[in-house]
A and B are shown apart, each in its own frame.
Chain A
Amino acid sequence: MSKAIKATNDFVIKFANVNGSGSASANELFARSIKRMGVPIATRNIFPSNIQGLPTWFEVRVSGKGWIGRRGGCDLMVAMNPQTWDKDIASIDPGGYLFYDSSKPMPESKFRADINIIGMPLTEICNRTYNDPRQRQLFKNIIYIGALAAILDIELVTVEKLVTEQYGSKQQLLDSNIKAVGMGYAYAKENLSGICSLKVTKADGVGNQIFISGNDAAALGCVYGGATVAAWYPITPSTSLAEAFMKYCRKLRVDPETKKNKFAIVQAEDEIAAIGVVIGAGWNGTRAFTATSGPGISLMQEFLGLAYFAEIPAVIFDVQRGGPSTGMPTRTQQADILLCAYASHGDTKHVLLFPEDPRELFEMAAQSFDLAERLQTPIFVMEDLDIGMNDWLCQPFAWDEARRYDRGKLMTAEDLESGKPFGRYLDVDGDAIPYRTLPGTHPTKGAYFTRGTSRDRFAKYSEEGSVYVDNMQRLVRKFETAKSLVPAPIMRKAREAARYGVIYFGSTSAAMAEASATLEAQGLHLNTLRIRSFPFSDEIVDFITAHDQVFVIEQNRDAQLRTLLVNECAIDPARFISVLHYDGTPITARFITAAIAERLQIKAKEAAE
């Protein structure tokens, strides 16, 4: 027997399954059982663009310390997919474990000498117990969950309790699932005892944290933020955001007396129409949003320029996936930064928000509508597939009852009646944000013609050079105003003075936190700054200039955030060192740690020579 990894409440288990085989709910049951024991988990679905037949993986990170970013590596592989067997075996860390279906004998060459093999005749047990082929398939998943519970010391009662919560109202399903879990558990207790040194013990690491996907959280944020119009077109990985909005609206936005809806959701004919509907609704005074992914943003370019130039509030959720083109539709990336920051032809700049987890996404989703109306411009909430479609453990949502929606500079009929001057593109307050009126406000005052063509401060068509420049300059000043309204960056100082800094954003946050701690433990001290929005505030420039060099961690090939920093902050590109992860899987703590440590060692060597 080779050396065996020993770990309690700190390991990575990966399930290799076939898409559409019913494994997802079983694997989720496994993860939730551990969470229920008070041990923090992070789950990631790695799935194909397919409904049935292609390989899919489910990764569960168990971390008593609460590291919920992706760690990297695999301590225990549950290999249930013959298609990916070789690759799955190869991906196990030395000393790790393989759990497999040993019903049919396998040649020794199919295994590795440096891993620990746990075989269980799953098919044989199923065939003996069930006659129906579908049942054999489905219960095989539940049986291995029972077995894993026994192997890893997960309490059977906890698993049973979760099964009961799920199937409580369906007695037959409940009984058969309980039976299958028990069958697997009993088999492993009897035959596989002491075979694995990965263990789960009860802990107090979860607290009052909630477990939810980013898309669900964003949808709920839209409900709380007062969105009433949603227009969308199905595209992975954003579809579940629109669907979740529908779910929450049906629950929270139906008038109890009339049973009528305080929302309107339109599945548009394409992304172009979706953003068109959002712009029309925003122009007419509702809070409206669309949810899409990179290909959708590409299609929306023309309309985004109109919304920027005509100054119409709109909220766009970009759940980023692997590009370019169709790219990797079910894999994650942060590769739409430049696309969104400078969306559309001509000179444009757009506000971007970078949420780190579902908790912040809920907050930013709600805030995006305030920003859109205050700034009268499109606001991009830059999600990615990792946050959007995976369930994350995060702080519970909170809502301040005293909070009021900021509807921005809207002129009312009374304002107009009192003789307040109205020029749609007139900078009255010196913050470059003009006042607007909604259609139907006043019988004789405040009407104007909205257009994507150049016009003067009173919305009158003009191609006069000076008039055009005046307006474009005001838009630049408005973007300056935005700096003071968007979420500020968050800095974390190292325990000791640091010459190097790290900038990161979005879903990288969890892996970065762990990498920071690991590096610090190795004596490598770095100050970190999490950027939460674009335009970049002066704080970001100060942070960069305060360090010899700054690592910029991104999940794209071309260092897009770095490009934006160089361009917008007029900073020497040599100040930045890029750490880039873009294979479509979420960035890992190990990857960041290794990349930074390696660069710092090279630097240290150079300095010594």
Chain B
Amino acid sequence: MRVALFVTCLVDAVRPEIGLSVVKLLEASGCEVVVPESQTCCGQPAYNSGDSAAARVLAEKVLREFDSFDYVVIPSGSCGGQIKVHYLELFRDHPDLKSRAERLAGRMFELTDFLVNVLKISSVPSEFAGHITYHDSCCGLRELGVKRQPRALLDLLPGVRITEMSGCEQCCGFGGTFSIKFGDISGAIVDEKCRNVNATGADAVVLGDLGCMLNIEGRLRRTGDMRTRVLHIAQVLAGDA
């Protein structure tokens, strides 16, 4: 099975090790992983800024790069939502591109969704153990229906104990450029998220999106919490945490 990896721009530039963990996970499950070299970004920053023309140019580029694979896997609910849901809206007046976007949407999966619902894996190359809590990222949860999948995967690790935090489905306050434009509101929202994380007593908060990851980790460290780890689920499942 030829699987293309859409790395995402944040994984590429900020946490490349997560991308390597994803490759490891997919290869361990027998996939032939291909990483198209010309990929950059899904276009969400332009789309959410209101520049739909720029977003469309990037969306067309993604269609060209990922058209020819059996499956495309993406370690982010946010970028996944952009491609699987919002490309259809971007191309609403371009029937040809829209049908290509629909085809891609049918073959593209968020990482945990792919592992659970396509590969149906029953083991992972990891012996991670510890007390964790899981943060549901907004787009993964509400646009792609990612809720049960990460928990099912974490259940494959006998040493993992999950304590659900209060408001695990509440936004962390990232919101892309919102976190810079309205830094103080964003900071107040993530502060509540961090308090909910801390209240579980977990050693790590695990999640599936880089935006939430940087936001939560940044706030935890700023408030002096050096202990709570912030981990992408790929790192945990690949045994790289």
A binds B: no
